[in-house]
Structure 1
Amino acid sequence: MEQKNINGYEKNYEIKEHPDIKGIQIIEGKNNFPISWLNKQGYCEYQLYLEYMKGIETPATPEMTHGSDIHHQLEDIFKQDATPATFEEAVEASKDKASMSREVFVIAPEYGIRGYIDEIWMKPDEIVIIDDKPGRTPYFSTMNQVRAYCLAFKSMTCDERKMKAALRERGTENLFWIEIFTPEVEKEIKFTLERMQGLFDGTRPFVPTKNANKCRSCRYKRYCEHYKQE
């Protein structure tokens, strides 16, 4: 596949930072949050509250730092041989000849989401959207994250090609989970995004996890009123 380094977009949006919630932008009158937050929401919604509503900061873990280093290394290698193209040019050209891109920005103001796709394969007959993760376990939270990338890409392009969501073991070629982005899956992820919007506009409460193992390993446990030491 050709390598396309996407470096531009035809459409730009007026962006305002949310006055109270760190990381939230207001785009076309709607709260817009990073798609990566879906991973945190699936882990523990109250962690989102502590980090972004309360503004509590904690040091990055060694695992987070290592993952970021690998991510940047792969991106640098990719750019060495990639051909520059706008998002629209890459999508259109892929209808005739397959290509792959990394760090592709997608945004869907109507759903209040934005983020960077780790890797996307655009083929004449299908689109494969890939998110790199440590390990080989497809958690519900990570599945939702890549589903939201699919939704945002579809919103931007109105592309009718078959679309697949995939999770890949970081630093390898192992796609350990893949699914077709069906209308049923699309409906489910839209429902989750509506819940997220409710969290940020105050109409729904942040629900803490009931998993004690998650609590024990949480970076925010010392600040959490729900954490119970054993």
Structure 2
Amino acid sequence: MQQKNITEYGKEYEIKNHPDIKGVQIIEGKNNFPISWLNKQGYCEYQIYLENMKGIETPATPEMTHGSDIHNQLENIFKQEATPATFEDAVEASKETASMSRECFVVAPEYGIRGFIDEIWMKPEEIVIIDDKPGRTPYQSTMNQVRAYCLAFKDMTHDDRQIKAALRERGTDNLFWIEIFTPEVEKQIKFTIDRMHGLLDGSKPFIPTKNPNKCRSCRYKRYCEHYKRK
């Protein structure tokens, strides 16, 4: 596959930072959150409240730092070998010749989501959207994250090719989970995204995890009243 480094995106939006919630932007009059938050939501919704609404900061874990280092190394290698392209041109050219890109930015103001796809394969017959994760377990939270990338890509391009969501073991070629982005999957991820917006606008409560193992390993446990009651 051709390697294309997407450096330019078509439509530009007026962006404002949310006055109270760190990380949330206001795009076209609607709250817009990072798609990676869907991974946090599946782990523990209350984490989002502590970090982004209360503004609590904690040091990165060794696992987080290691993951970022691997990610940056792969990105630097890719940029050295890839050809610069606009998003629109890369999508259009892939209908004839397969290509791959990394750190592809997607945004869907209608659904209030945005993020960077780790890797995307654009082939004449299909689009494969890949998110790199440590380990080989497809958790509901990580599946939801890559499904939301699919939704945003579809909304940006209105491409009628089949879209697949995939999870890959970080630092390897092992795609350990893959699914077709069907209308039913799209319906499910829209429902999850709607819940996230309910958390952000205060219409739904943040529900803490009930898994004590998650609590014990949480970076925010010393600030969490739910952990202290356990």
TM-score (norm 2): 0.99
The equivalent of 1:104 in structure 2 is 104
Q: Distance in 1 between matches of 2:216 and 2:10?
A: 46
Letter in 2 for 1:158: H
What is the aligned partner in structure 1 of residue 74 from structure 2? 74
* Alpha-carbon offset, residue 81 of structure 1: 1.1
Q: Hey, what's the Cα distance between the residues in 1 that align with 2:22 and 2:225? A: 21
2: CA distance, partners of 1:198 / 1:30: 12
Identity over aligned pairs, percent:
84
Name the CA distance, whole Å, in 1 between partners of 2:229 and 2:175.
Answer: 38
Corresponding position of 2:50: 50
Structure 1 distance, partners of 2:116, 2:95, is: 22
- What is the CA–CA distance in structure 1 between the aligned matches of 2:67 and 2:19, rounded to whole Å? 31
**Aligned partners of 1:215, 1:229: CA distance in 2, in Å?**
11
* Cα separation, 1, equivalents of 2:229 and 2:64: 25
Amino acid at match of 1:178: I
User: What residue number does 1:171 align with?
Assistant: 171
Shift of the alpha carbon at 1:229?
A: 6.7
Q: Residue in 1 aligned with 2:213? A: 213
- For 1:144, the equivalent position in structure 2 comes to 144
Corresponding position of 2:160: 160
Mapped to 1, the partners of 2:69 and 2:176 lie a distance apart of: 22
AA paired with 1:174? N
**Aligned partners of 1:174 and 1:108: how far apart in 2?**
29
Amino acid at match of 1:77: I
Task: Specify the SS of the correspondent of 1:71.
Answer: helix
Post-superposition Cα deviations, 1:79-113, rounded to whole Å, max 9, x if no partner, equal: 11101000000000000000000000000000000
* Mapped partners of 1:226, 1:65: distance in 2: 27
CA distance in 2, matches of 1:218, 1:82: 38
Letter in 1 for 2:217: S
List, as ranges, runs of 4+ consecutive aligned residues in structure 1 with deviation greater than 6 Å. Answer: none
Deviation at 1:10, TM superposition (A): 1.3
Per-residue deviation, residues 189-215 of structure 1 (Å, max 9, x unmatched): 000000000000000000000000000
Structure 2: segments with no counterpart, 5+ residues? none
- 1:29 corresponds to: 29
* TM-score calculated relative to the size of structure 1: 0.99
- Listed one character per residue, the Cα deviations across residues 2-52 of structure 1 (whole Å, up to 9, x for unaligned) are 000000011000000000000000000100000000000000000000000
2-structure distance, mates of 1:169, 1:120:
15
Structure 2 residue matching 1:227: 3-state secondary structure: helix
Q: Which residue of 2 aligns with 1:11?
A: 11
The alignment of Structure 1 onto Structure 2 pairs a total of residues equal to: 230
Match of 1:116 in 2: 116
Counterpart-to-counterpart distance in 2, 1:22 and 1:122 = 33
**Distance in 2 of aligned mates of 1:108 and 1:130:** 18
- Answer yes or no: is 1:131 the counterpart of 2:131: yes
Query: What is the alpha-carbon distance in structure 2 between the residues aligned to residue 9 and residue 200 of structure 1?
Result: 28
Quote the Cα distance in structure 2 between the aligned partners of 1:183 and 1:225.
Answer: 40
RMSD: 0.7
- Which SS does the other structure have where 1:21 is aligned? coil
**Alignment partners' CA distance in 2, 1:146 and 1:115:** 10
Question: What are structure 1's unaligned runs of at least 5 residues?
Answer: none
Q: Secondary structure at the match of 1:102?
A: strand
Cα deviation for residue 128 of structure 1 reads 0.1
- CA shift digits 1:67-89 (9 cap, x unpaired): 00000000000111101000000
